[in-house]
Each structure stands twice: as structure tokens, then as C-alpha cells.
Chain A
Amino acid sequence: MGDRLSVGLSCPSCGGAISVSEGESSVNCRYCGSTLYIEGDNGVSTVAFKNRLDRNAAINALRVWWKKGLKARDLKTTGNITEVYPIYLPFWSIETRVAGWVCGYEEKHTTDSKGNTRTEKVYKEEMVLMDLPFSEIACDPGDLGIRSLRNFQGEASFEDLDLIPTFESTTSRDDAIEHAKADAVAKGRRSADVPNITFESLHVLVRKLSMIYYPVWVARYTYQDRMYIATVDGVTGQMLSGRAPGDALYQSLAVTAGTSIGGLAAAGGIMAAITFQSEIGIAGVILGLIVLGATYWFFRHGSEIIQGDFPDRKSMPGMKKGQDLGSYFKEMSR
């Protein structure tokens, strides 16, 4: 974010081109020295990061990703990339400082040798004072699996904005600020780690607010007649999100092993509970259920391996009816 950005603006005093950094509201003209005030649209400064990938680099990133994890072993040979293209997605980028106190207590349970349990209150007063980055996609992400920025560093440039399809922001600045503040309060409260809160006073200040247009490569590919979608970070070259077919052999082995171990542990636990000590038995049943639960959790998406922010498919709060990436991609695929 330290990169200075020429935004096609000129000094009203001398006409010289001026450059600013993301989120800056004032700058001194390097030619005539005039102090200038930069007023973003609706108080928001805007920046675009330069796309550093070409089509081949995006395809390479996808192919490398195919080889990782428990994806279908023949994906790298039979996966067929049908289209790869870049887009610019808008993100709200908000820096906040949260300051305050969280007070309360923690209950500690101790059991003595006679089996008597005692509950002790440990009183806590915890200061919260931290700076937090927050980002949130500023349009409907559809099924892309992208909701926030992972990278805030990039070369600032508006050069590619005319060449690459760009999605306009459809969410409001005030909603984004509200989400950033709620996020900061939640993180501040969590960092205080006070289980039973009796007093809380947390203040959130917005340090910086900007809109970042971020380049993302979208790749569509097919595997055994099924269509999949994945996205690659246009700045870092890392995979952002994607869906891929899982490997049937790995999965059946893992499911078999998981259910067997879980079932045996649970059954053994029940046996132990009946015949020996009840605690060991109950522990066995719990362990068995945990293994079964973990097996279910891991394979709950069936044969798909998923990376990215997919779990919550609901519309984001405050989202206006507007440009929807989901419908855009459906149109693109027709």
C-alpha cells in the first residue's frame, strides 16, 4: 500500500500530475509545493492494483493446485480448462483501531480427593487496544468463494481498468463501516478472553477507508463432464478459491477407516462402560463419535474438494440488488 499512484489528477495550481497513496486525503504537489486536499467520491479514495499475471501464469497456478491435496489423481491429465479470464473485483478496505476494556470473570472448577467439586471465580479486567485491517467484497460474489482480501500489497495502477471487465461496487460505504466496526468489536472481545462479561466498553475508530479494485483470474474447467470454477489472485498468483473433484479411492479408504475406527471406539466404549469403569467407556463412546463426526465433516461436500469462502451462501447483509457475479458467470458460460 506504500506505492504511490498517479490517478490522472492534476494540481489545480500548476497543472502538474499528482500522485497519492491509497487512503491519503492530502498531498503536497511535487512541482509547485501547494498543499492539496483530495476528496474521494463520497469520501472514499479508490485504488486499483496492477494485474501481474498473464493467462499462462493463471493456468499454471490452477494446474499446480490440481496436484495438491486429495483431489482426483487423474485431474492433472484429464482436467480440461475451458476458459480463463481476468476481472476486477471491488473490495472495501478499512483500517480500524479498537480501544476499550472488557471486565468479568472466569469460573474454574476444581475437584478434591474426595470428589467434591468447587467453583472459584477468577476476576478479570482486560484492556483491548489494537489496530485491525478489514476487507469485504463490495459486490455480490456469486459462487466465486471470495468474500475478503488476503493481500493488501500491490502496485497501484489504473492502467488495466479499461482492459479488464470491472465490477462496480454495489454495497454501501456505511454498511461496510458498520461491518468493520462489528468485526473489530468481536475481535477485541475475543482477544480479551473473558468468558463471563460483566462490563464492556469498546470504541472503534475508522483509521482509513478505501475501495480497492483487485485483479482476479477466473478459470472454468471440466472433469468427467462436470463443470468446476476456480479463481487465482492476479497480484500474488496464489489460488483464492475453487472447487475440484475429490479422489474416489482416497475417499473410500478414508471413509472406511474413519467409520471403522469410530464405530470400534464407540462399540468398545459401550462394552467398557457396561463391564469395567464407566469413565473409560464414556470416553471411548465420545472418541468414536468424534471420529465419525470428523469423517462426516471432511467429506460433507461429497466428492468435491473446496477452497475459499463458500460455506455461507446467503446474500451479504446490506447487499443491494445490483450486479450479481453469479448471473454474470451464467451468462458468460452460455
Chain B
Amino acid sequence: MKVTQVKCPKCELPLYMEQQDEFFYCSHCGTIHTREMQRVERIPYEIADFRDSTPADNRIYVPFWRLLTDFRIKSQDVRGGFFGKMGQALKGGDRGGALYIFVPAAHLETPAFRYWSVNLTINNPRYGTRNDFGGTKRMPAATNREEAIELADFVAVTLEAEKPGTLQYLDYSLTVNEAKVVYLPFVSSPSGLHLAL
């Protein structure tokens, strides 16, 4: 095994991070990068600001991949769910289009992973941004861009499956046009994570 000192690919200063994280964050110039073998990749990101009333204790930033996708349904077969289907028919059907898909970049347990990916994709969060983490802890990232794109496919199908009726067949295409990391503000409590926007 080979050990190398991690240096920022932009300002070339060595990193001294307080936590173990697959997203290497340069506190000097703010660049985040990932490494896989010899491949170094800069990650575009933004940091959302906490709601003013958020208590100072237990604040944490959780990284999410925000993928701008084009999700097109070519054909599908749904059984049951009469009212849902009627509603779709009245609206002229829902054949997809541009969609922001949120995929947790941190390693969340499977129930939390499902909850946050589906909820943030259905209700895209609105937030103001800031330039640094302001000393707030970050949850370490564990999902790279390629993995996030694979998981976006899962989130897109989940949106269709969770509509009324029982999905029997889905022919679709999913194109990812942009991938960016968004650090969303949360408050961590024994009952789980609570979004603080």
C-alpha cells in the first residue's frame, strides 16, 4: 500500500482535515476534491445557510449530490390506483422532463437514505448560500459522482412507483446534465436528522 500526503489541486497546500472524509476540503481556498487511485477530481459545491432560528447545538452539514436530470418516460403500465391515473389523464399525462434529483453523498442508513432522497427530490429545497462552513461539522461523504448517478436512477423510479397504483412496467430514459454537491444544514437529534432551512 502507498501513502501520499493530500494536497489541494488548486492552491497546492497540504490539507489538515479534522475528520476522515472522501471529499477532501481545503480550508485555505475552499476547494473540494476526490481521489480514486491516481485520478483527482474537483467537486463543484455550494453550502446552504442555516435558518436563523436554528439552535447552535448539534448543527451538521450533510452533503447531497444535486443532479440536474432529464427524466423521460417512454411507456409505462400501472395497475389500480384509479383516481391517480384519472388525475394524470386529466393533466394530459406525466411524461417527465427536467428534474433535480437529490442523492445523499454521506453514508446514511437505508431508511434515511430513502426518506431524504425522495423528499428532497419531490420538494427541492430553497436556500441562501454561504462561502464557508463557519466551523459547523460536516458529515463525511462516501458516494462519488458515478455512484450518485446510478442512485439517481433508483430515485427516479421510486418517484413513479410511489404514485397511486401498482407499477408493472416502466420504459424510461434518464440523462444527467449537471452534478453538483450541496451541503444542506441539519440538526442531529436522537430521533434522526432534521432539515434546518
By a beta-carbon cutoff of 8 Å, the part of chain A in contact with chain B is 7, 9-13, 18, 24-28, 33-41, 43, 45-46, 97, 99-101, 103-105, 123-125, 127, 129-131, 198-199, 201, 203, 205, 207
CB-CB under 8 A from A34, the residues of chain B are 5-6, 14-16
Q: In whole angstroms, how far apart are the Cα atoms of A41 and B37 in the complex?
A: 9
A-B contact count (CB 8 A): 120
* Interface window among B44-52, B82-90, B127-135, B151-159: B151-159
**30 intermolecular pairs with C-beta atoms under 8 Å apart:** A10-B3, A11-B3, A12-B3, A18-B3, A35-B14, A35-B15, A36-B4, A37-B3, A37-B5, A39-B1, A39-B2, A39-B37, A40-B1, A43-B37, A100-B154, A101-B157, A101-B161, A101-B167, A103-B161, A123-B79, A123-B80, A123-B168, A125-B168, A127-B158, A198-B168, A199-B170, A201-B154, A203-B150, A205-B143, A207-B142
Q: Is B29 an interface residue (CB 8 A)?
A: no
Assess whether B169 is in contact with A101, with CB atoms less than 8 Å apart.
no
By a beta-carbon cutoff of 8 Å, the part of chain B in contact with chain A is 1-6, 14-22, 24, 35-37, 77, 79-80, 107, 110, 113-114, 142-143, 147, 150-151, 153-154, 157-158, 161, 166-170
CB-CB under 8 A from B170, the residues of chain A are 103, 199, 201
Smallest beta-carbon distance A213→chain B, Å: 14
Q: In whole angstroms, how far apart are the Cα atoms of A39 and B37 in the complex?
A: 6
The chain A residue with its CB closest to the CB of B36 is A43
Smallest beta-carbon distance B54→chain A, Å: 28
Assess whether B157 is in contact with A100, with CB atoms less than 8 Å apart.
yes
Assess whether B114 is in contact with A26, with CB atoms less than 8 Å apart.
no
CB-CB under 8 A from B169, the residues of chain A are 103, 198-199
Smallest beta-carbon distance B119→chain A, Å: 15
The chain A residue with its CB closest to the CB of B26 is A35
The chain A residue with its CB closest to the CB of B150 is A203
| Residue from the list A38, A46, A131, A207 in contact with B3, Cβ < 8 A | A38
Assess whether A37 is in contact with B153, with CB atoms less than 8 Å apart.
no
Smallest beta-carbon distance A22→chain B, Å: 12
